[in-house]
Amino acid sequence: MRVGGGIARPKVKPLFTTSLHHRLTSGWHRSVPDRSRIVGIRRTSNRGACLRRLAIIAGVAAGALAAPAQGAEQSGTATAAVVRPNTLVKTDDLDFGTLISGAAGTVTIDPVTGARATSGGVTPVGGGAQRAIFQGTGGWLLLIVSGSNSVTLTRAGGGPSMTATLTRAVSTSGGGITLLGPSATLFPSGVQTYYIGGTLTVPPNQPAGDYSGSFTLTVNYL
């Protein structure tokens, strides 16, 4: 986001046949001592009992075949997002990952490759680090790209904060990625993908906790 069956065949005793045969034989012994006719009556009665037994068995089998089969059904969800031209869509957030700090140090996310690197007394733990990614399309003549050059990360529950400087890069319609300055002018072509990385400065003995902050990316379509 996980049996085999059988048919019970009842035993049917032809009690009615036995009683009928007894009455017939008792009465006919006095008037008609022909045992061949008595035997004929016995055979006819037994055949009727067999037919009744077969009818019962056939009814049980028909009931088993008519039983509804079991089934299961589950539903799914289909989603889609439609955006207009001259719009930015965020794909991923910037994440410096989990760090162990003792002495002062830094952690850097490369906007071009997405790789993480540390220095000083900062030790990376596990994965999960990533660059931020935005996508947009539109513009007739020029694109002017700007935005936050730094971001302050505050600790949930209070305490000292940390600061990261930001760097930007761009690719057009799946082409190569190039670094951008604090403010860059581009020629519009296809879909533009913007990558945001940066360097986070971790002070010595930074308190443990979850840190977050907000930054902006601005694209003017001309």
Of residues 81 and 191, more confidently modeled: 191
pLDDT computed for residue 137 by the predictor = 86
With beta carbons less than 8 A apart as the criterion, state whether 144 and 185 touch.
yes
The token pair that represents 212 in the structure block: 């977050």
* Residue of 21, 67, 60 whose CA lies nearest to 41: 21
Per-residue confidence at 35, pLDDT binned at 50, 70, 90? very low
**Separation CA 88–CA 85 (nearest Å):** 9
Q: Is the pLDDT of residue 56 over 90?
A: no
**Who has greater pLDDT, 165 or 48?**
165
Query: pLDDT tens digits for 57-101?
Result: 445 455 555 556 778 888 898 988 776 777 889 999 999 999 999
Percent of the chain with pLDDT over 70: 68
Domain boundaries in the chain? Answer: 15-65, 87-221
Which CATH fold topology does 87-221 show?
Immunoglobulin-like (2.60.40)
Residue bearing tokens 């049996």: 3
Mean pLDDT rounded to a whole number for the chain: 77
Angle at 135 between CA 186 and CA 91, to 5 degrees: 150
Does 37 score more than 50 pLDDT?
no
pLDDT for 48 = 52
- The single residue listed with the structure tokens 């979850």 is 210
Q: Please, which residues have CB within 8 angstroms of residue 9's CB and are 6 or more apart in sequence?
A: 57, 60
- Give me the residue label for tokens 């050059």: 149
DSSP secondary structure letters along 87-131: EEEEEE--B--EEEEEEEEEEEE-TTT--EEEEEEEEEESS--B-
| DSSP H helical ranges for 3-34 | 15-31
Q: How far apart are CA 206 and CA 98, in angstroms?
A: 13
Q: Is the pTM of this model over 0.85?
A: no
Composition of the chain by helix, strand, coil, percent to 5: 20, 35, 40
What is the C-alpha separation between 208 and 96, in angstroms, rounded? Answer: 14
Q: 74 or 216, which is more confident?
A: 216
Write the pLDDT tens digit of every residue in 119-175. Answer: 999 999 998 999 999 999 887 888 899 999 999 999 999 999 999 999 999 998 878
- Span 166-178, pLDDT tens digits: 999 999 887 899 9
Q: Cα separation of 49 and 26, whole Å? A: 21
Burial class, 48, CB count within 10 angstroms (exposed 0-12 / middle 13-18 / buried 19+): middle
Looking at residues 9-36, what average pLDDT do you find? 38
Give the model's pLDDT for residue 158.
95
Residues 206 and 150: their CA atoms lie apart, in Å, by 19
Query: What average pLDDT does this structure show over 5-31?
Result: 36
